[in-house]
A and B are shown apart, each in its own frame.
Chain A
Amino acid sequence: MSAPTRHNEAWRYSDIAAVEAAWPLPAPESIIVPAGGTFARTIIQDSGTIHQLDIAIGKGATAAIHVLNIGGDYGRVELNVTLHEGADFKLGAVQIGGGSQTLEVITTVTHAEPGATSSQIVRSVLAGTATGTYLGKVAVARDAQQTDSVQSVKAMLLDRSATANAKPELEIYADDVKCAHGCAIGELDAMGLFYLQARGITPADAKKLMLQAFVAGVFEGAADEEALTEAALAKLGDLV
């Protein structure tokens, strides 16, 4: 199978040259969470690599993935999640890019059976001419009633010509479901910045503080919360 092109939906914003160079990719890592089990994984992508995971979450099982996507010219984290009855999936992802990096988080979460829950929080901060992308599809199968799915996507651009792309997609075939998503792209609140400065914080530190606030909460509950937060703040510090 040849490398994908921009016409392939899942690669529409990718750095195709980098993809071709990495092609063919190894098979995605396959994870099966047994019924009633728990699974947690932290992915810190800081060297320009492609991570692909297929996760099947069994009945009543839970999986929590935390992603920090910050390094290399092209970094991609792709998650393919299938939820069985009563399963739960949580994703907390932060992307921070500068220079001419291309970073992307691609998720497909399929609610195959009823009563499952999923929650995805994605925060991206992009500077320079970096591109940050989130493609997140939530698919609810015909009989997957009582699905509860939420996506909260926010991106912040620090420079003109940085690019933020988001495609929070819903494909729903069951009616007794709660599926909502929110996506907001903007800049740092000017009033917030002024408030901090009016209390004596320098403009650069004010920016850092607000960016820190922006990604706050994404890594709550992660086993490596501190390490993740530290790495995120370090990258933010580089950018500002």
Chain B
Amino acid sequence: MTDDIEIKDKAAWDAAEKVADYEHGWSSDIETDFAPKGLNEDTVRFISAKKNEPEWMLEWRLKAFAMWKTMEAPDWAKLNVPPIDYQDAYYYAAPKAKPKLNSLDEVDPEILRVYEKLGIPIAEQKLLAGVEGGEDGGLPQRRVAVDAVFDSVSVATTFRAELERAGVIFRSISEAIKEYPDLVRKYLGKIVPMHDNYFATLNCAVFSDGTFVYIPEGVRCPMELSTYFRINAENTGQFERTLIVADKGSYVSYLEGCTAPMRDENQLHAAVVELVALDDAEIKYSTVQNWYPGDAEGKGGIYNFVTKRALCQGRNSKVSWTQVETGSAVTWKYPSCVLNGENSVGEFYSVAVTNNHQQADTGTKMIHNGKGSRSTIVSKGISAGHSNNTYRGLVRVAPNAEGVRNFTQCDSLLLGSLSGAHTVPYIEVRNPSAQIEHEATTSKISDDQMFYAMARGLNAEEAVALIVNGFAKEVLQQLPMEFAVEAQKLLGISLEGSVG
């Protein structure tokens, strides 16, 4: 029983607990079902057929693919990325398993073993044991419903029954396309349009799975929702598609986390996340990202090109993005909020750590169209090793948006003298009643701080971890409690080797 609770308490990712090497650097011997290598129209059809999609979905994908062929990858980010050969990869990898998964008994036991190893609470029974009270000394247990994505296919969704009682729809997007086509069609591609950018268009054509969430009017989702990603097979790009719709007056907190195995070839991750919040609704979206960053020489690692956007459509709607980015070799993501609703609120809290030869170009866009809309941006960048860490942000106020408020704080912490920290903020204001404030600072850990911490008994790496956590505290505070603890550990681990 204690074991069960322990697993529950460490729900989500059990990121590097041990020192040094990437703990999850192994792959499992699972039979995988691949699409033929390469990317052409047949690949798109293959994916759609594998998922038994309705005609409209296939047409949507083909339209996107045709569009993608006419586009060019963007090159304006401060990133040094060798050209990606899009033909030299597999676009679909599903672990072979029984076609329909109603209960966990049907899941390939090898998969269950993988998740157990990762510490993900996929076993429904184990989770429930802690929940009913009494078994655990009456302490309220955090409940997390998990939709596990394993190499492009959602494996199991737990807690379905309880969510259904509340009216919450929490499905893999493949299921949702079939079960709730109207709802999906209403919003899919409306927040991030098909033509938005190169990687989003690619995603539209070849997305394989992801999460769909719908919270009905007035419902406060009774538990945190979570999806776990894992890229396993060699040379597969992961193209998740997530759509979360919060209807009027609803609330949901969603957690996204990832790990990936060591590989020599770079792997591509081009996800699209769309969020919609209607009147008085709130979505909290948290990400702790620990993709494989490449080895100390800069070889291997994940390319993370993600488009995330929230539409705060309703009045008083609110979307909060919180991210802790420590992995991936190359990161390109700008979770953004389009603030259309009157008095809508957008928030972006980010800690991005780069070490060794990682490169990150990340930030946010807050587009203020609605009167009285407000946004808060807190970005903490930590650069170590030979890495480069860039914050790129946009705050834009439309002429008719009266009474807009924005506060932005970008802080960079440089560890060692071989890394780079960059800040590129764009501020475009067209309404005189807006109050926009932006501050940026750059610093290093001072010798005094290090000495003080070490004089109190911490070794160099522990001291750095402590100080870095203090630096990042404001962002870590935004995470749901359990993840904050994991994130703190992750920060310390991701900086290993950067001291001395």
Contact = CB atoms under 8 A, between A and B. Distances in A.
A–B touch (CB < 8 A): the answer is: yes
Interface of A: 142-143, 145, 155-187
Given A142-B417, A171-B422, A157 B429 contact: yes
A160 B431 contact: yes
B383 to A, nearest CB: 9
14 contacts: A160-B431, A160-B432, A161-B399, A165-B428, A167-B424, A172-B421, A173-B419, A177-B442, A179-B441, A180-B439, A183-B437, A183-B439, A186-B434, A187-B432
Contacts of A185: 427, 429, 434-436
Sorted from nearest, which 6 A-B pairs have the closest CB atoms? Answer: A157-B432, A175-B414, A183-B438, A179-B442, A175-B444, A185-B436
A186 B435 contact: yes
A30 B186 CA distance: 59
Q: Which of A145, A155, A172, A187 has the most chain B CB atoms inside 10 A of its CB? A: A172
Contacts of B427: 164-167, 183, 185
B431 A157 contact: yes
Given A155-B429, A184-B437, A160 B442 contact: no
Nearest to A137: B424
Interface in B400-418: 400, 412, 414-418
Given A157-B429, A176-B417, 20 more contacts: A142-B418, A145-B417, A160-B400, A163-B428, A166-B427, A166-B438, A167-B424, A167-B427, A168-B440, A169-B422, A170-B422, A170-B423, A170-B440, A172-B412, A172-B420, A175-B414, A182-B439, A183-B437, A184-B437, A185-B429
Contacts of B432: 156-160, 162, 187
Contacts of A184: 435-438
B438 A182 contact: yes
Contacts of B426: 165, 167
Contacts of B440: 168, 170, 179-182
A179 B442 CA distance: 5
A180 B441 contact: yes
A157 B431 CA distance: 7
A235 to B, nearest CB: 18
Interface of B: 399-400, 412, 414-444
B442 A172 contact: yes
Contact of A168 (B428, B429, B435, B438): B438
Contacts of B399: 160-161
Contacts of B434: 157, 185-187
A175 B421 CA distance: 9
A47 B427 CA distance: 27
Nearest to A140: B442
A187 B444 contact: no
B419 to A, nearest CB: 8
Contact of B430 (A161, A177, A186, A187): A161
Contact of A169 (B414, B425, B435): B425
A33 to B, nearest CB: 26
Nearest to B78: A171
Contact of A175 (B400, B416, B437): B416
B328 to A, nearest CB: 22
Question: From DSSP, what is the main secondary structure of chain A's interface residues?
Answer: strand
A172 B422 contact: yes
A176 B414 CA distance: 8
A179 B381 CA distance: 14
A180 B438 contact: no
B424 A169 contact: yes
Nearest to A170: B423
Contacts of B431: 157, 160
B415 A175 contact: yes
Nearest to A145: B417
B430 A162 contact: yes
A145 B442 CA distance: 13
A74 B301 CA distance: 48
Contacts of A155: 429
A17 to B, nearest CB: 20
A158 B432 CA distance: 6
B299 to A, nearest CB: 23
Nearest to A190: B433
Contacts of B423: 168-170, 181
Contact of B425 (A163, A164, A168, A178): A168
A53 B362 CA distance: 33
A168 B440 CA distance: 9
Given A169-B424, A172-B414, A183-B437, A178 B442 contact: yes
A168 B410 CA distance: 12
A14 to B, nearest CB: 14
A63 B433 CA distance: 36
Nearest to A165: B428
Contacts of A167: 424-427
B71 to A, nearest CB: 16
Nearest to A147: B442
Contacts of B420: 171-173
A1 to B, nearest CB: 20
A145 B435 CA distance: 35
A176 B436 contact: no
Q: Which of B412, B418, B420 has the most chain A CB atoms inside 10 A of its CB? A: B420
Contacts of B428: 163-165
Contacts of A142: 417-418
Contacts of B414: 172, 174-175
Q: Which of B415, B434, B437, B442 has the most chain A CB atoms inside 10 A of its CB? A: B442
B312 to A, nearest CB: 21
A147 to B, nearest CB: 9
Contacts of B429: 155, 157, 163-165, 185
A174 B439 CA distance: 20
